Structure 1
């Protein structure tokens, strides 16, 4: 059996325990774990959102997590592009993708090149979307700005 190279991709913006859980579980299932950090440009293009933390800083944060062996910054929307550059053998994703059209398409594409897709439990009680909503609510309300706080 060869080296199991794992790949776990995400924005990793507003880093939270769900991100940590994905990376921790992924490392338990491979010899080398590469974390794919989706670039600011790809977040805009694919999800229509602005990152709170810039790409380089997110990559630096993720690079220093003990489970992560290397970081790859994704600059193209297709995960097959990442595979061509990284040549991972296992792709890790939250189980919120299991059974979805996107998840099934990913499974088919990766099966063609021998990559196994492994799903882990999605951390439902926290997400970047929920954190983003909470920040938006705070900034829309009467939360002080830096100028008024000084």
Structure 2
């Protein structure tokens, strides 16, 4: 594995990068970050900006970027937070280099995952997949809030618009 800060004999550290929305933060998010931290020496959590989430998912997050970044920044497993403001993960790597990229296993074996692996392999970055926590997700939480409050699931868009 290529190491961002030198070679292993020199005591170099492996820098990991775990991007996410981290909206409606829950135990599944914490599990991903814990697993990522266990596989690197220094963990950078990427917080995808509101604008990038709207492009990718077609809806705004419930919690705005600066608040999501603040929550993630205060987790003991996270060493640094990087706010993603563009969609290309290789461009993110150019702006904030890392050795290992952590992704949800729903990308494993997909054309998008294969392309991600290919592009990162060209620059020496390993892609590691983690399983999602099945019983908890932001989507499920958003649906539950919608039912409980009778507020449409995409109400977050009005707040950000």
Fold similarity call, TM over 0.5: yes
1:91 and 1:59 mapped to 2: Cα distance? 19
Q: How does 1:1-150 map to 2 (within 5 A)?
A: 1=8, 2-140=12-150
Q: Structure 1 stretches of 5 or more lacking a match?
A: 142-150
Instruction: Using the TM superposition, give the Cα deviation of residue 59 of structure 1 relative to its aligned residue in structure 2, in angstroms.
Output: 0.2
Question: For 1:133 and 1:120, how far apart are their aligned partners in 2?
Answer: 24
The range that moved more, 92-101 or 53-62, is 92-101
| Counterparts of 2:65 and 2:115, CA distance in 1 | 27
| TM-score, normalising length: structure 2 | 0.84
Question: Structure 1 segments of 4 or more deviating over 6 A?
Answer: none
Give the drift of 1:140: 2.1
Q: Between Structure 1 and Structure 2, how many residues are aligned?
A: 141
User: Which string of whole-angstrom CA distances, capped at 9 and with x for unpartnered residues, describes residues 25-51 of structure 1?
Assistant: 000110110000000000111111111
